[in-house]
A and B are shown apart, each in its own frame.
Chain A
Amino acid sequence: MLELRDVTYEVDDNNDNKEILKGINLKIDEHFIAITGPNGGGKSTLAKMIAGIIRPTSGQILLDGEDITELNITERANRGISFAFQQPVHFKGLTVKDMISIAAGRDMSVNDICDILSEVGLCAREYIDREINSSLSGGELKRIEIAMIAARGTKLSIFDEPEAGIDLWSFNSLIKVFEKMRDEINGTILIISHQERILNIADKIVVIADGKVEQFGPKEEVLPALLHTAKTCQTLEEKL
């Protein structure tokens, strides 16, 4: 279980302290949690804080009862936290096989990699030796990013806006990937998203706005109100 106790985060903005997170309290032990809310509300900051990429100004983060607030990124990764970046990082020379092997913590055979890549709709033969760089499309990079998380198979997997920067067709298959993941992965999936179709497969939804938890409850309670307040584009909805 992941618990955040009164977590705050302040940054120095031209000598003016700006509060990004204003006392977040959350207890998460459900299988599939979506975090949503307006841009700039603190969602990504919160996700990075759980992964250890940024440290809170005050407050505590607990994983299965252990205080992990002072642990670094590597230590948290080894405690069972995975983090999929919103913008996948490019590498010169490191291939899909290298990255999946690093993620899995062992040298992976072609068959092992085939199993993982097929989960995200990629054919291993085509991708295994490709470098993780701009020769891959945004959608391909996103899938590989997700495949790394699947290869780790940890108890907490965080995805920061997996839908950002990918086209509509890739998005459709991405939804299927998450639906499958929800059904197959043990552990907690924490996904930051603005997309109704992703929110719709969540057990619970957290709404973060202006650095605070505005709502936290079962999808059935939170989603209708959200759709009512922020109607998505009708044409886009029809296409999705």
Chain B
Amino acid sequence: MEKKMDLVQKNLLEQVAGLHEIPEGAYNIRANGEKLGRNTTANIDIVSKTDQDGIDIIIKPGTVNESVHIPVLLSMSGMQECVYNDFYIGEGADVTIIAGCGIHNCGVDTSKHDGIHTFYLEKNAKVRYVERHYGEGDGNGENIMNPQTIVHLKEGSHMEMETTQIKGIDSTHRVTRGDLAEGASLEIHEKIMTHGKQYAKTDFSVDLNGDGSSCNLVSRSVAKGESKQQFFSVMNGNAACAGHSECDAIIMDHGCVTASPQLTANSIEANLIHEAAIGKIAGEQLIKLMTLGLTEKEAEEQIINGFLK
């Protein structure tokens, strides 16, 4: 029997999925390790796995203008789980998938969600994948998330990933793996803000295997307080492909950011670029906003909001 959401869970749902209530269309809401609600449509099926924890999301070929919401909510302190979700996107489909995890931890125990998402995009399929991670709670328990996203892109398929982690996650190790066939393209936009003693590591590895394949990876991050971030990206150009990765970070207080890009061209026709910039907020940006009437603190907030927008 499906259960009702309490207020804490409703708030988490709003933070990670921008939803106030149960969404329209296909969805699967998981709360504290249990299925809280599920809906399938004529074109989108969601099936629980039998061999391990997780679901299969199967999207029929040619499905367009549909979306799937699969938020995960953890509101019990000490809840730890590892979930495998597989997405099968049929040929020519064009869909939006909104995932995300919200943790509310008021206890002293560590709450942890490891989500392993594997995408199989058939020929000419298109997916926009939005993932938000959010943590809250006034206890001493840590909030940990270790998401893995593995994408297999067949000929002519296109995937856009937007991942956001702005608040409340004490430790994260984010892994993204991708392989792209001929004419496939992958666009990744990552936004991270860490504070306190938080730690975030992002680790990308993309193989551009087909001629005409392309990958654009843009990471923007802000490290405040004593927090640490590490950015690793590996891009292997194995054909006539185009790869671009960009790591742009603002450091504040005693924040620390490491950027380690690695580009390998295994084909003479591969065209790979990496850009990285790490630094504090430019003084002239603060001064400009102060001449418009903002205090230094307000100016800082505006600059960071814009940067992570």
Contacts and interface: CB of A to CB of B under 8 A. Distances in A.
B302 A83 contact: no
B48 interface: no
B248 A102 contact: no
B294 A74 contact: yes
B289 interface: yes
Interface string A45-63: 0000001010000000000
B309 interface: yes
Contacts of A93: 220, 305-309
A98 B285 contact: no
Contacts of A89: 282, 284-285, 287-288
B303 interface: yes
A94 interface: yes
Given A92-B306, A92-B307, A93-B309, A102 B291 contact: no
Contacts of B282: 89
B79 interface: no
Given A74-B296, A89-B282, A89-B284, A94 B303 contact: yes
A83 B296 CA distance: 16
B292 interface: yes
B116 interface: no
Nearest to B284: A89
Interface string B263-298: 000000000000000000010110111111111100
Contacts of A51: 291
B185 to A, nearest CB: 22
B308 A77 contact: no
A85 interface: yes
Interface string B15-30: 0000000000000000
Given A53-B287, A85-B288, A89-B284, A74 B303 contact: no
A interface, by DSSP: helix, strand, loop or mixed?
mixed
A91 B303 contact: yes
A135 interface: no
A51 B309 CA distance: 30
Nearest to A158: B291
B interface, by DSSP: helix, strand, loop or mixed?
helix
B292 A94 contact: no
Interface string A76-118: 0110011101000101111100110011010000000000000
B191 to A, nearest CB: 10
A82 B93 CA distance: 53
A120 interface: no
A181 interface: no
Given A89-B284, A89-B285, A102 B292 contact: yes
A148 interface: yes
A194 interface: no
A148 B285 contact: no
Contacts of A105: 293
A73 interface: yes
Contacts of B303: 91, 94
B81 to A, nearest CB: 35
Given A89-B282, A91-B285, A92-B248, A73 B306 contact: no
A102 B308 contact: no
Task: Name the residue in A82, A85, A93 with the highest tally of chain B Cβ atoms < 10 Å from its Cβ.
Answer: A93
A152 interface: yes
B288 A74 contact: no
Contacts of A83: 291
Interface string A140-181: 000000001000100000000000000000000000000000
Given A74-B296, A78-B293, A89-B282, A98 B306 contact: yes
A73 B302 contact: no
Given A89-B284, A89-B285, A94 B291 contact: no
A53 B296 CA distance: 13
Nearest to A85: B288
Nearest to A83: B291
A16 B284 CA distance: 27
A95 B309 CA distance: 10
A91 B295 CA distance: 17
Nearest to A95: B306
Given A89-B287, A93-B306, 15 more contacts: A51-B291, A72-B290, A73-B291, A74-B293, A77-B292, A82-B291, A89-B282, A91-B306, A92-B306, A93-B308, A93-B309, A98-B302, A99-B292, A102-B302, A103-B292
12 contacts: A73-B287, A85-B284, A89-B285, A89-B288, A91-B285, A91-B306, A92-B220, A93-B307, A94-B306, A98-B302, A102-B292, A105-B293
Interface of A: 51, 53, 72-74, 77-78, 81-83, 85, 89, 91-95, 98-99, 102-103, 105, 148, 152
The 6 closest A-B pairs by CB, nearest first: A93-B306, A94-B306, A73-B290, A77-B293, A89-B288, A83-B291
